[in-house]
Structure 1
């Protein structure tokens, strides 16, 4: 198997989730640093327009969204499992809640005026303005509007109080004695709050949560080495996508899409830029499109089915 390559930047919460999953699996990977704002020309060559962070690459296979990355990592290395056996539906649902609801609250807590000032302390004013303008555009056209900081602060005691109570009663992690996808999905938005010293005190009333954050953080990021972004594009160009799917070729799409159709795939919440290509595989969890790029060559771009819109091209 080709190296696992993660396209990310240090401050991204979802990139931290991916780094933690790699550490949990004890995997070695290559690190490609990408810009936190558009344009991202090397990343776009690989994804065809998907712009969220992070993106995972193995040769000429490109994985968009941490939900599909988690399933990929469980295929690569089944033990320890991100989706606990017998609790798959509950784990996936809880992880999605955390990635949507807890993430928006974590971002809003950071975007209080004093939180923004701390995040961009020492940075030129035009850098802060560019970042805020990019994030405003990121949410245009999607179903998930940014959460107002005042509303996030109002709801914070409910969300954190539930975590505090469960952790006090149930043990080290959220679904048992070992961490899983639910822990990493709740971890990354709270890590985002904890990493900003202007708002980190919002976690102080919750000692069980703070102890749990330390326990999850102990999984680390695994071993990694740096890889220049243009080299990652060259790796895709010099590779051939892996055979698609893992067996469910009898899957029938509810809206009638079939292998070989020209389609677009786009997130529905935010960052809704569509990726166009040929549908080469689909099942209940995954959608894969094939596309050609002048720089990256033939690539397969993988998306989770849930949370993404599959539509006819054009």
Structure 2
């Protein structure tokens, strides 16, 4: 199967929580998409061919445009399919702030709870010991320098956050009203990991039945219509795409916003602030109020534009060779 320059191609793997967030957004918006399954840990040569260094999961490909980070992917999908909206007009700021909290504070508390010894043993039950060791080493490298919650502290925090979500659901089906918004998708995926990936840890959810009912409503949104695609075909779709000089294909905001004293056309790197800090090098071709775009060339993928949100990412001038 091949892909066109307009196909939505999600590079993900089934047990990735942030991928579940995006899969549900695709389902909510009833968008057709193509599914490329990528490795959960390094090496990821086909991923790096497209991203240039970024290796977190998922990322979205549209032709030769690569969108990193689930928050930016949500913005792109909103632009492509504005209804139903992820950002209700009367609560747009609240939805974004709550989603950012869920993708960071809630997520890391949930994962510290989920992956304490009993949960980690459950996750790798039946797998060879080398698999658990390799996964642990991979994630340790990605989280170098981060402060991790201890299991007892994570458990207490997770319980508190679940109660707060339950409070938000009093008298309404979703966190900010009668329909889902971006905050619902961001808050759902760490809880989904607890329930589906480490069910041995899922008793913590039972104290908040309103949250469990909301999770059922979220799961019912589904993943939309998708077809499998190979990584080779996805890379070929990038190489075959035209319009390599148009970094604003999926965002009408073209205004250059300089916060760094780095001119467009400069050689730069972009890396995540905390988790997965592998830098992506390239030429800066856009810096708007919400995102950065690098242009780079790969021998297999051709001329590629890699897009990052400003929030959570660090732009630096490339060091002289």
Q: Does the pair score TM above 0.5?
A: yes
- State the match for 1:161 in structure 2: 163
The equivalent of 1:63 in structure 2 is: 67
Counterpart of 2:274 in structure 1 is: 269
Q: CA deviation at 1:93?
A: 1.0
Q: Tell me the residue number matched to 1:215.
A: 217
Counterpart Cα distance in 1 of 2:153 and 2:312: 24
User: Unaligned 5+ residue runs, structure 2?
Assistant: none
Task: Please tell me whether residue 21 in structure 1 is matched to residue 22 in structure 2.
Answer: no
Aligned equivalent of 2:82: 78
Unaligned runs of 5+ in 1: none
Query: What is the rounded CA distance, in whole Å, between the counterparts of 2:260 and 2:34 in structure 1?
Result: 38
Deviates more, 1:53-62 or 1:247-256: 247-256
Q: Could you tell me which residue of structure 1 aligns to residue 96 of structure 2? A: 92
| Aligned ranges 1:109-124 → 2 under 5 Å | 109-124=113-128
Paired residue for 2:138? 134
The answer to whether 1:46 aligns with 2:59 is no
Indicate the residue corresponding to 2:247 in structure 1: 244
Please name the residue that 1:230 is paired with. 232
Equivalent residue for 2:39? 35
TM-score by length of 1: 0.96
Instruction: Give TM-score, length-normalised by structure 2.
Output: 0.94
CA distance in 1, matches of 2:166, 2:181: 18
Aligned length: 311
Which residue matches 1:205?
207
For the 8 Å contact 1:61–1:242, the answer to whether it is kept is no
Using the TM superposition, give the Cα deviation of residue 43 of structure 1 relative to its aligned residue in structure 2, in angstroms.
Answer: 0.4
Whole-angstrom distance in 2 between the partners of 1:26 and 1:249: 28
Kept in 2, the 8 Å contact 1:264–1:275? The answer is yes
Q: How far apart in 2 are the matches of 1:68 and 1:184?
A: 13
CA contact (8 A) 2:173 2:214 kept: yes
